[in-house]
Amino acid sequence: MDSLVLKVISGTAEEFSRDIVTFQENYGNRVTFEELNKDQLREKLWEILFHYILDKSQSSIHRSCLLTLRILSRDRTKLNELLTDEKINVILDKAALKDADVQQQISYSDVIIESLKLLCNLIFNSTKVQQTLPRSCLSCLIKHMREYNDDVPQEVMLFHARIVFLITALNSSMQQVVKTELNGDECLINILENVCTRCEQEQMIKEDHLMLICEVLKALFNLYMNSADSEEKEEKNKQLVRILYKLLLLKCEKEDDLQSNIANLLTVLPYDCYSTIIPPAQDEHKQIFQEIDMSAVAILMKFLDRRLNCKTDLIGNLSPIVTAFIRLAKSQRLIRKYARQQILPPLRDVMQRPEEGTTLRAKLCKLLTSPTTELRDLVAEFLFILCKENVSRMVKYTGYGNAAGMFANKGLLGPNKGKAVYSSESEDSETEEYLQHKEQINPVTGCFEHPKPNPLEGMSEEQKEYEALQLAGLIDALTKQGLVQPCRIGDDGKPKPIEHVLELQEQLPKQQYGRRDSDSD
């Protein structure tokens, strides 16, 4: 590399245009360039590239220079030092993002597109660019996006959206600027709607459209993440959810990418805008539930099922879609009822533990004992909402053992806990299978168990008392060694550590668990 770089730096303009292409061919896939760390080769190479970019007589090689800079900008070594304000302004000028007041129609050349790609790299890799990118650049960018027409290349729209996503992801102070002061969210929603309309005409989402859609969805996620929308923006938010509904129903080859980004966005949208994801039913071929079109929710349910099969990065794969369903179920009663029908249908198979099998219920119940507490608590919250936040119903569908951790965290272990305000309409009746085996269902495991012999049968009262004292002594010894920590239930419904095992006896009458597992309200 050294000899080639030296030729690029010191050669004539004609040699430069030839050697720079050779550099791109040889090193276009590299992300680091350790060889440039000596003899200031890195600095000299950057200087010569900008020398030719600033030379208007060399316009034929400007794109090639920018492409080479894009390759070099993958390496963060000295990047902040190399990027002077002058160089940043040159790149913005070449990307047509320097002056927001310019009114002339832009012809999007290869040089502009290459500059936009370079700018994306610089925003991602340079903290200096993240923090000092001029606000006028974003104003100009949003202005261009607002004035898109059919002549704007798809690639330009993609990198415009990516710049908005990157700068709002890496500089949180820019989120409100783009959303509130520049109305960037409305601009992005309009772009999303236009692309959606085009895809509806083609009856599918093609890959180039999908890339743009995903970049817009990611940018919108950043803009909504920490914002508090006013009431006058409610219709705009509903418009966005209406677009998400349409996108979910379109055929798409890489549906996981699309659905993942939609699920992410749903986790940050205001509660009052979710209604448009379940419009009144108009097509009998769609998923209809109580005269409402549940097609989009059904697609998200299938996406949840696929994500539950993931073996790695469970938090990254599951948290967004579970959080989205929690918000949807809380805000829309029919979504909760539909989700419950799919996940917690009337119990018929009472012979297996709730966490056994391949149903949605089983997959979710398995996570109730996950060592990943963040995911465990999220899944527990979702199932609890589907159970109308009713402790008895939660025990019935998940088993007390699986749900005990959540009950403890929420203070629901005491008497008369877990009564939430939900509609009084009954959503389920107990099945014949459940009623037949109801008395043999162990509430701890949540499944049928054959009667077991009484271990105290045949013992005298003296023997029973002896065994009880032995057990109390063992528990006391384990407690003193710090191996176990017995607790009683406090007035707040949460476990409270005890100082001596005999304190458990005082609380015994208060801790009897009353089984009231009817689905009727």
pLDDT in tens, 71-100: 999 999 999 999 999 999 999 999 999 876
pLDDT at 514 over 60: no
Distance from the Cα of residue 307 to its chain's centroid: 12
pLDDT band for 211, please (50, 70, 90 cuts): very high
Residue with token string 């990943």: 372
Nearest residue to 287 via CA among 276, 274, 296, 300 = 296
What is this structure's pTM?
0.85
Mean pLDDT of the chain: 88
Residue type, 266: L
Output the pLDDT for position 426: 56
Nearest-angstrom CA–CA distance, 82 and 129: 11
Neighbours of 324 (CB within 10 A): 23
CB distance 280 to 293 below 8 Å: yes
Query: Can you name the residues that pair with 270 across neighbouring β-strands?
Result: none
The least confident of 149-163, 173-187, 301-315, 433-447 is 433-447
Q: CA–CA distance from 203 to each of 156, 196, 206, 481 (Å)?
A: 23, 10, 9, 68
pLDDT at 136 over 80: yes
Q: Tens digits of per-residue pLDDT, 17-53?
A: 999 999 999 999 999 999 999 999 999 999 999 999 9
Query: Which 3 state secondary structure label does DSSP give 515?
Result: coil
* Helix or strand run (H / E) with residue 495: strand 495-497
The count of C-alpha atoms lying within 13 angstroms of the C-alpha of 3, restricted to the half-sphere facing its C-beta, is 0
Give every CB contact of residue 329 below 8 A, 6+ residues apart in sequence. 335, 336, 339, 382, 385, 386
